[in-house]
Amino acid sequence: MDDKRKLVIASGNPGKLRELSALLEPLGYELHAQSEFDVPEAEETGTTFVENAIIKARNAAAHTGLPAIADDSGIEVDALDGAPGVYSARFSGPGADDASNNTLLVEKLRDVPEQQRGARYRAVLVYMRHAADPSPIICEGSWEGRIILEPRGDNGFGYDPHFWLDSHGCTSAELDPAEKNRLSHRGQALRELVQRLQRKAA
Ligand code: IMP
């Protein structure tokens, strides 16, 4: 008897799928990328991480009839009133990429004193049993840092070369990937989700 519980991941990112599979398959879940079902990308119209994660999970569940997991993440900069926030990936406009986003971030913070450049990464992970689930599991993580103007380090992605960690005396792009997972907003949210699914299954 195949009693594996199928789950759809509302992301096309193979790295995210691998990371989630490694944690959830031991719990008896069988994970599928939404691309396997030709799920159309949901438009991220929310203004909060939690709204966008719910939009993506609901879209995947609605198109597949399976329980779904989605995430949303970004960086909030205090001196920019929390921007770029949910717009982190598209901060510098159409055609934005990591380099253009970081250039814009540095431009906006050039005249802000170092001690006022506080920032945090945030991640939200949502699990929905079905598209009309009124009480999704919502897990959050946050990671405090400070923006530096000169990039440092080659690991990670996105804003990592500018995300300075006072606790470690380096940027998140200078951490090895295992250490980043242990500390990061996404790692925190993931571990919480695993615990809550484990409890649910018990
Ligand atoms: P998404 O959640 O995959 O849509 O990512 C949102 C955006 O937030 C990314 O494109 C990055 O710009 C930024 N971001 C989220 N997490 C990280 C991180 O761990 N390091 C660097 N940038 C991140």
> Where would I find the H helices in 37-137?
49-64, 98-109
Give the largest CA-CA distance in the chain. 64
Whether the Cβ atoms of residue 127 and residue 197 lie closer than 8 Å to each other: yes
**Which residue has the CA at smallest separation from atom 23 of ligand 1?**
158
State the distance from the centre of ligand 1 to the C-alpha of 77, rounded, in angstroms: 13
Cβ of residue 76 lying under 6 Å from some atom of ligand 1: no
Question: pLDDT digit of tens for each residue in the chain (202 aa)?
Answer: 355 799 999 988 887 888 888 888 888 999 999 999 999 999 999 999 999 999 999 999 999 999 999 999 999 999 999 999 999 999 999 999 999 999 999 999 999 999 999 999 999 999 999 999 999 999 999 999 999 999 999 999 999 999 999 999 999 999 999 999 999 999 999 999 999 998 887 6
Give residue 16's pLDDT: 81
Position 1 scores a pLDDT of 36
* CATH numeric code, 3-201: 3.90.950.10
Amino acid 75: pLDDT: 98
pTM above 0.85, yes or no: yes
DSSP conformation class of 84 = B
Domain boundaries along the sequence of the chain = 3-201
Å from CA of 39 to ligand 1 middle: 22
Q: What is the pLDDT of residue 87?
A: 98
pLDDT for 79: 98
CA of 1 to the centre of ligand 1 (A): 40
Question: In the prediction, which pLDDT does 14 show?
Answer: 83
Amino acid at 14: P
Q: How many CA atoms lie within 13 A of 111 on its CB side?
A: 1
Interatomic CA distance for residues 174 and 39, integer angstroms: 36
Is there a cis peptide before residue 94, judged by omega within 30 degrees of 0?
no
